[in-house]
Structure 1
Amino acid sequence: MALALRPRRTGWLQRVQVPVQVVLYIAFFLLAQLLVDGFHLPLPANIVGMLLLLALIMLRVLPLGWVKAGSRWLLAEMLLFFVPAVVAVINYSQLLRVEGWRIMLVIGISTLLVLAATALVVERVYRFEIWLAKRKQGNRDE
């Protein structure tokens, strides 16, 4: 049994990897902002930047390893992005006392609708893939 050995990264490379990848994300956002402004796209720059990044990864222009550590770090620190929402809840506590049940009702119903739509799409795609597999198996038998 042969083990695939990976070259170990040096200490300084590990320390600069995440900041360099975050700078790469910022560069994608700035490029996307230029594209949105220049072509008057109806999408926000963050969506265009993510689509651009996804396209580069799917086309294998940009290796996944070049963005993996930065994305893991950002996901781990995502709680910091919710601090403004908590501050808003504190600032508008009177609104939540009066209209809170309506806000929670809307959030609950919309969450259920999103879950139901996702389940429906997953079920349809699953059935379609089963149908494709049966069709492919039928073609092999002939």
Structure 2
Amino acid sequence: MALALSPRRAGQLQLLQVPLQVALYAGLFVLSEQLVTWLHLPLPANIIGMLLLLALIMLRIIPLSWVKAGSKWLLAEMLLFFVPAVVAVVNYSQLLMVQGWRICLVIAISTLLVLAATALVVDRVYRFEIRLAQRKQARHE
């Protein structure tokens, strides 16, 4: 039986939803930093944290709806996370004028490599899923 909340109470819960979800993300990051240190993992803590969150969602320990509002808010405010990069560009404009073409070349090559690797992985996973679907269909026939 579902609990009926008053409109005021529901509004209060919605106001707390985003801060609580962002706190959950921060807590997962702190936990993943501890895991990386304790287990001497070769991956950064943010990757471990994302894998932990994915595992919690896939195992249905945390419903997707519990993290949706916080992630939407963080994505909407993502520009704020790039302010330090813009300040660095302004502070080191001389360096960029001299070495800028090399930096742009590295960015372009790394972007192409990431896109190619992503396309390869998506293609392989897609083909794998098609084969699994064909096997499943063959078993049912």
Instruction: Look up the match of 1:3.
Output: none
Which residue matches 1:65?
65
Partner of 2:116: 116
Deviations 1:87-120 (A, max 9, x none): 1111110111111112111211221222222223
TM-score by length of 1: 0.81
* Equivalent pairs, count: 136
1:17: Cα distance to partner? Answer: 0.7
The separation in 2 between residues aligned to 1:38 and 1:120, in whole angstroms, is 33
Secondary structure of the corresponding residue to residue 127 of structure 1 = helix
Q: Tell me, which stretches of 5 or more residues in structure 2 are unaligned?
A: none
Q: 2:54 and 2:24 mapped to 1: Cα distance?
A: 13
- 2:48 alignment partner in structure 1: 48
Change (3 A) 1:135 1:81: same
The TM-score, its normalising length taken from structure 2, stands at 0.82
Equivalent residues in 2 for 1:14-33, closer than 5 Å = 14-33=14-33
- RMSD, aligned α-carbons: 2.2
Query: For the residues of structure 2 that align with 1:34 and 1:28, how far apart are their CA atoms?
Result: 10
Q: Secondary structure, in 3 states, of the residue corresponding to 2:62?
A: coil
For 2:120 and 2:48, the matched residues in 1 are separated by 27
Where do residues 1-142 of structure 1 align in structure 2 (5 Å cutoff)?
A: 10-141=10-141
Alpha-carbon distance change, 35 to 86 in structure 1, aligned in 2, over 3 angstroms: same
In structure 1, the gaps of 5 or more residues are: 1-6
More off after superposition, 25-34 vs 87-96: 25-34
| Alpha-carbon distance change, 72 to 90 in structure 1, aligned in 2, over 3 angstroms | same
Q: Give the fraction of aligned pairs with identical amino acids, expressed as a percent.
A: 74
Shift of 1:35: 2.0
Deviation (angstroms), 1:140:
4.4
Query: CA separation in 2, counterparts of 1:49 and 1:22?
Result: 13
